[in-house]
Structure 1
Amino acid sequence: MTVKPFDFSHYYTYRELLEYLHQMTDVYPQLIQLKIIGQSYAGKDIPIAILTNQNTGKYLEKPGYWIDANTHAGEVTGSAVACYILYYLLTQYQQDSMATRLLDHHTIYILPRIAIDGAEKYLTTPYRLRSSIRPYPYPDEQDGLHQEDINGDGLILQMRIKDDCGGWKISEQEPRLMVKREPEEFEGTYYTILPEGSILNYDGYEVKLATTFEGMDFNRNYPYLWSPEGQQQGAGDFPFSEPETRAEAEFWQENRNINGFISYHTYSAVILRPYSTHADEHFPVSDLDIYKLLGEKGTAITGYECISVYHDFRYHPKDVTYGVMDDYAYDHFGWFGFTIELWDAPTQAGVKKENYIDWGGKHPIEDDLKLFKWNDENEIKGFIDWQPFNHPQLGEVEIGGWNFKEMWQNAPEKYLPEICERQCKFALTHALMSPLLAISKATITHQGADIYHVVFELENRGFLPTYTSQKTLERKAVRLIEVILSLPEKVSLISGKLEQEIDHLEGRSNKAYNTFAKGTDYRRHLEWVIKGPVDSIIEITACSERAGTVRCSLNIKMI
């Protein structure tokens, strides 16, 4: 049984996602297993795919790497990328050297959709929402304008209403484009622009925008510097208050072999790294060096710039974002990882942004004209022409504007293959930087009579150290390497320890920015003297929580 080529034609609904995961499991049972890590707010199973070659070892006994997507309901491009990475690893096993090495020696955890309920509503209705369908922060809809497909065309766009006090006017260069009215302008036709929708408890005079009914934001619900709703919109009732984020956290606590991660979001075409709340001086120096190295690798592969959220991606110079996943993953566990904002329509149209956040509020009209040209030439159908409509509450309005869901928030399907391929390559490259415990030597030497000398040498063949990062050591988030010598009944120990912990092994990362010799800090040996009869079998096991478990058996031979 084989699988069809990856389906780039549309974004998967929940049913299609489950069918896809089960199909891949049926075809590649030795390389993938599915687990349900919890249930969503609406009671839907949350599946995670665990990828590794089960013939070469258990998944918890190999270094792990985490991929998740669709934290925000509408950011379904991320889910497509996660599913493609899964597809590539399985179909290219024994065809591609990176995929083969990863599945033989590593474990890849893929959670393709966190916002299970929200994404389903997003994909099957005109509505947009942040993460969950749970009413939040209020149990009931509040008075004011709520977004709704008021004209029944299957989209929620914008409404423009003629208004002498309006802040917008029609562009002279492009009649579809609304531009800001100048402060000194008074002669002309001006408009107020509102989201398409209806007004709850409208008094016939003033229009206010209602508080979002489904305002929960999973990416504000993690414990690192979590702040309540009054300070951080979308935070939830307390850290991990939501069943989706709590299920994720419980899985992490039980599966402690993870070294790195990527969380896929949209949009801006940029790679984001921690912190959201602190300047780079907050990092251990060596960790910041590695983050920059990894970011440079990501830029070279994906074409996306890698930036600090705190320094380059803040919504306001005096505000920071609290309770986000990547800050928690790095600061609590010491994992190196990124939030990747996939896709960006302006970038695709040839617009160069000086600032990722500020561009949305202020940019030259030439950028808008590039967007319209790109939209028209590529037949994106991202802009819906303004059409008159008799609104039941507001009277004559026009409805139209950019189709946010299918042009801004997510990539049109024709662009998915390139996005998926580039992101897949970076994810595989990043995962292969994990530490990897290996046995470099295991010998048993006859010393006379029934006495034997045992030498066992371990090494770390990975890029990162077996403790992952300096932050991991600060948090004491990983145990030392444990070595166990197992002896049969008739063999006794003369010197050495049956069970012992040894210090972590460095990788190559501590040499990336240092030209001075470091010695063989990636290798360490242990010795024992034992007494026993010929043909007895001894076993040695070395276990590193994040670099894997290795074993060997030695046969006592008289030479």
Structure 2
Amino acid sequence: MKSTLKAAFLVLAFTGISSWAHAQRDYQSYAQLTSRLQKLSARYSKLASLTTIGKTATGKEIWLLTLGRDNAANKPALVIAAGLEGTQLATTELALQMAEQMLQGAVLQDSVRELLQQKTFYILPNLNPDASEQYHEKLRWERLGNAQPVDDDRDGRMFEDPFEDLNKDGLITLMRVKSPSGTHKPSEEDPRVMVKADVGKGEQGEYLLLTEGIDNDKDGKWNEDPEGGVQFNRNFTFDYPYFTEGAGEHPMSERETKAFADFMFDASNVYAVFLFGPANTLSEPLRFNKDKVGTRIITGPLEKDAAVNEQVSKLYNRTTLLKNGPKVDPSPGDVLQWAYFHYGRYSFSTPGWWTPLVPVASESSDGAAPLAPSAHEDVNFLRWAEANDVVGTFVNWKAIKNPDFPGQEVEVGGLAPYVKNTPPVRMLEPIAQKHFRFFSAFAKAMPSLQIVNISAEKAPGGNTRITAEVYNQGSLPTHSELGDRSRWVQKVQVTLHTNDNQKILSGNKIQLSNAVAGGEKFQVSWLVNGKGYVTVTASSPTAGKQTKEIYLR
């Protein structure tokens, strides 16, 4: 019976998409996510609060879930943001599941409760809700842009060349056209998958590969102006890709990006920004490159910040035990680079979930080791889906008629939209737990200022020399090296508080320090005239605060 069911599943997986296959992924709509967030914040009202940082063009709220409610704005904070790309629904689900696990843990475990007492977690589960909602529409296609109308092909018209569902299955896939000038051919590993012919190796293309649809405006391009506007993750100020499709008219042109930036600049307590997005700088850190930092415009991490990225990457790999993460670099106009170069904070990104590498079984029966996984991600994905009974991933190629190609062989098929980024939700719980473990470990490694070795020594003239050391007892620096160059990031501040009968004779009342590395300290001193107590305060929005009192001699 079990083998019969499995065979039925595989038939569904590779012959078409059923409504059951759609449902089994269980990703929630904007309305469902909103209800889930509201119930979560109500249930844990002493630990969490739900607010909004802005609205999209269609009026959808951009939700902010704040964990560690008491005095949240005055505690060192982490930003955890997801839903940067409209196709990465799993990132939103991971962020929410992790928030749920954290709140549940705070009720049951003292260590988690203490974590939320000492740190603030700003969780933005979906920064691009207008794009991600396309997953739940009657016609499903991978939408990246928001709901702001944009003339992508700059012909004075909007949305005049959308996708068409030529095989009437409710999904927009690919269209392959048999052609002697073709650029693609079926993969030798899996003939369903189309790969680009390598002319350098003498390979001959057989098909033109296009998105499913018709060239409505007869400009020689297919589906280049569908509904959907600007991409959130391409609209930020650093390395902004001017005159590029999806980037917008200018940097920060969109409601979503401006709302996010406004919130961030108001939140001076943010220590680091973690993104569940396409780039991956946690499995494999960004490296220091002196050529990128020796110019007027810095385009790579500074040396100390690159060392921190490596330290955090090791922590990520050790706590999550996730293997074979994809190598995806930052991209022009993305939030990852903006958060570091223009916001001045440590900034990291991970897709959260990716398709595991799947070896192909050896055909021999002599106990030979399995063959190596495929280097082609689509082939590997289909092997993984089959091995895990994940259905609805592929639409078999089917001949159709297309008026753009009279008399030519045209077929529609390929991977179903979204499937590579939306594993069944049931698979995400252990991944969320691994990331919860990582964020807990990261929070414990964050900087913490302590005043040590404070002393008051008699000085000539009835004065007192106050000396103290400020120590970072965390293992991470108090802020980024780039933050030292930024006028926005607040530095470590040490203040001597006196009363009206006391006077500071030497030493600035407020003394500032650049980033203090983990386990390091620096000394401050003042010469004070007067009697009674004075108070020394060491503070940093990103590294905490401590105050100590000492009597003048």
Structures share fold, TM-score greater than 0.5:
yes
Question: Structure 1: which amino acid aligns with 2:30?
Answer: Y
Question: Structure 2: which amino acid aligns with 1:39?
Answer: K
The 2-side partners of 1:227 and 1:165 are apart by 31
Q: Which has the higher strand share?
A: 1
Aligned pair 1:503/2:512, yes or no? yes
Q: Deviations over 1:223-268 (max 9, x none)?
A: 1232411xx4422112211110101111111111111111112488
Q: Please name the residue that 2:390 is paired with.
A: 380
Q: Please name the residue that 1:111 is paired with.
A: 124
Aligned pair 1:264/2:276, yes or no? yes
The 2-side partners of 1:366 and 1:454 are apart by 66
Q: Please name the residue that 2:12 is paired with.
A: none
Q: Please name the residue that 1:301 is paired with.
A: 319
Name stretches of at least 5 consecutive residues in structure 1 with no aligned partner.
1-7, 315-319, 352-362, 512-519
Q: 2:308 aligns with which of 290, 296, 299?
A: 290
Q: Please name the residue that 2:365 is paired with.
A: none
Q: Please name the residue that 1:546 is paired with.
A: 542
1:260/1:397 CA distance change after superposition, 3 Å? same
Question: Structure 1: which amino acid aligns with 2:113?
Answer: T
The 2-side partners of 1:32 and 1:156 are apart by 39
Q: 1:469 aligns with which of 480, 499, 508?
A: 480
Q: Deviations over 1:56-91 (max 9, x none)?
A: xx1222111111111111111111111122112211
Aligned pair 1:219/2:233, yes or no? yes
Matched ranges for 1:231-380 at <5 A: 232-266=244-278, 271=283, 282-303=300-321, 313=328, 321-345=331-355, 347-350=356-359, 371-380=381-390
The 1-side partners of 2:75 and 2:429 are apart by 30
Q: Please name the residue that 1:30 is paired with.
A: 46
Q: Please name the residue that 1:19 is paired with.
A: 35
Q: Please name the residue that 2:9 is paired with.
A: none
Aligned pair 1:493/2:502, yes or no? yes
Q: Please name the residue that 1:429 is paired with.
A: 441
The 2-side partners of 1:365 and 1:109 are apart by 37
Q: Deviations over 1:479-514 (max 9, x none)?
A: 3444566678xx7325579993223386553x6xxx
**1:160 and 1:194 in contact (8 A); partners too:** yes
Name stretches of at least 5 consecutive residues in structure 2 with no aligned partner.
1-23, 294-299, 361-372
The 2-side partners of 1:522 and 1:251 are apart by 32
Matched ranges for 1:503-522 at <5 A: 503-504=512-513, 507-509=516-518, 521=521
The 1-side partners of 2:537 and 2:188 are apart by 75
**TM score, norm. by length of structure 2:** 0.76
1:221/1:366 CA distance change after superposition, 3 Å? closer
Aligned pair 1:479/2:490, yes or no? yes
Q: Please name the residue that 2:3 is paired with.
A: none
Counting matched residue pairs gives 500
**TM score, norm. by length of structure 1:** 0.75
Q: Please name the residue that 2:94 is paired with.
A: 81
Could you say what secondary structure the match of 2:277 adopts? strand
Give the superposition deviation at 1:103. Answer: 0.8
Could you say what secondary structure the match of 1:35 adopts? strand
Q: 2:133 aligns with which of 120, 125, 128?
A: 120
The 2-side partners of 1:123 and 1:527 are apart by 68
Q: Deviations over 1:363-421 (max 9, x none)?
A: 96887665444322322121222344455766774432212312x13323242123222
Question: Structure 2: which amino acid aligns with 1:114?
Answer: L
Question: Structure 1: which amino acid aligns with 2:512?
Answer: D
Q: Deviations over 1:93-142 (max 9, x none)?
A: 15446533421111111111110211122333412211312222356346
Could you say what secondary structure the match of 2:396 adopts? strand
**1:77 and 1:265 in contact (8 A); partners too:** no
Question: Structure 2: which amino acid aligns with 1:492?
Answer: N
1:495/1:370 CA distance change after superposition, 3 Å? closer
Instruction: Out of 430-439 and 122-131, give the one that drifted further.
Output: 430-439
